[in-house]
Amino acid sequence: MQKEIDMLDVLKIREDFPILKREVNGKPLVYFDNAATSQTPQVVIDAIVDYYSNYNANIHRGVHTLSQEATDAYEIARKKVQEHFNAKLTHEIILTSGTTHSINIIATGFTNLLSKGDEIIVSALEHHSNIVPWQMLCERSGAILKVIPMNQEGELVMDVYDQLLSDKTKLVFTNHISNALGTINPIEEIIEKAHAVGAAVLIDGAQSCPHIKPDVQSLDVDFYVASAHKLCGPTGVGMLYGKEEWLNKIPPYQGGGEMIEQVTFEKTTYAGLPHKFEAGTPNICGGIAFGAALDYMNTIGFDAIATYENQLLEYGTQKLLEIDGLKIYGTSKNKTSVISFNLENIHPYDVGTIVDKLGIAVRTGHHCAQPIMDFYKIPGTIRASFSFYNTKEEIDALVEAVKKAKMMLS
């Protein structure tokens, strides 16, 4: 039976996050923008301070003590990422600046692996970061982009996916969880069917990793990408997992220091994995803090996190739907702790502005998922996204704030 986090545990967990003690506009901060960036626990902040205070140096290139200490800490962090995602090999983990960077490495790398008329498939639920790089790839290669449509519940229409697949399909990419709607996509089915026609699959795990613990070997996925700042870590760092055979086929994304084996003016040879894709000085401190963040979240436990966040989702959905004229977008039965909603005849930005005056942080707009908003024929939504350090009392505060916004704007 899964462990549940009771209220006492959550209050204890909240003590780990310094920012949750502050006020905004004279009100206690209620932070419901976790789908954009999660907050950072003290243990991760301490890891950042420790690096810059005690062993700040470049890695992999120096024989002096500080460089060796920094190198060891950075590579230990890579190992933590490997173990967290259950990659088979440590060098299948490329440390990047985030999910967008990771996707662009693969999209650029496939330029010479595709021919005119080849087909690649994306889902209608994607963040712009998992749309635009593939459009650019099609422009370079002559490949054709096809789209798995969505339905009114915010779910992919899998029957159409079956029809889109063919021997022309070379790549399939979708998010694990929609950042705009919270829908959990059936990636196991997507991967299996893509592999049946010989296509590779990239899964955008930016939104899934804060809530679940993906096993890339069990999924048999070719590429999986994520960002640390969704996982209680710092911004500007993330990871690309790729199967070794695919990473060996793809050329480097950038040239420079670190990613080379030998350089002459006549010819350069590239370093092996993972350094082939890590040109230049990396975000050393960020990588080390990424490892610390994974340690922290694993200490809490992802089963406990999922159970508690589902309770918040159910409670928040019930309470918000009690408001007349409120509509929720993304009503899949298989979703995570994201509620996107609007008030009838009121612009989401106006609601977000009033809610902020009451100390509550929500996201308004299209959430870098404009095709979803176009599908619903709306300018955007108000998005409340919950994390394991949020409470039902904070949801109550949100509900009252939305009611006040409705009264003021109607």
Can you spell out the DSSP letters for 361-376? E-EEE-TT-HHHHHHH
Instruction: Look up residue 52 and give its two tokens.
Output: 């810059």
Instruction: Select from 175, 211, 231, 286 the least CA-distant residue to 38.
Output: 231
Specify which residues 338 forms β-bridges with. Answer: 385
| Type and span of the H or E element at 105 | helix 99-109
What 3-state class would DSSP assign to 177?
strand
Q: How far apart are CA 237 and CA 230, in angstroms?
A: 10
Q: Could you say which DSSP state residue 220 is in?
A: T
CB 320 within 8 A of CB 338: no
220 sits in the region (left: phi over 0; alpha: psi -120 to 50; else beta) called left
Backbone angles phi, psi at 175, to 5 degrees: -80, 155
Give the whole-angstrom CA distance, residue 177 versus residue 256. Answer: 34
Contact 124, 145 (CB under 8 A): no
Q: Look-up: residue for tokens 């994520």? A: 226
CB 208 within 8 A of CB 238: no
The DSSP output letter for 335 is B
Encoded amino acid at 11, one letter? L
Q: Are strands 119-123 and 144-148 parallel, antiparallel or unpaired?
A: parallel
Q: Which of 349, 340, 346 is CA-nearest to residue 324?
A: 346
Distance of alpha carbon 19 from alpha carbon 321, whole angstroms? 30
Kindly name the residue from 138, 232, 285, 368 that is annotated as catalytic.
Answer: 368
CA atoms of 236 and 37, how far apart (whole Å) = 11
368 is annotated as an active-site residue = yes
Active site residues: 368
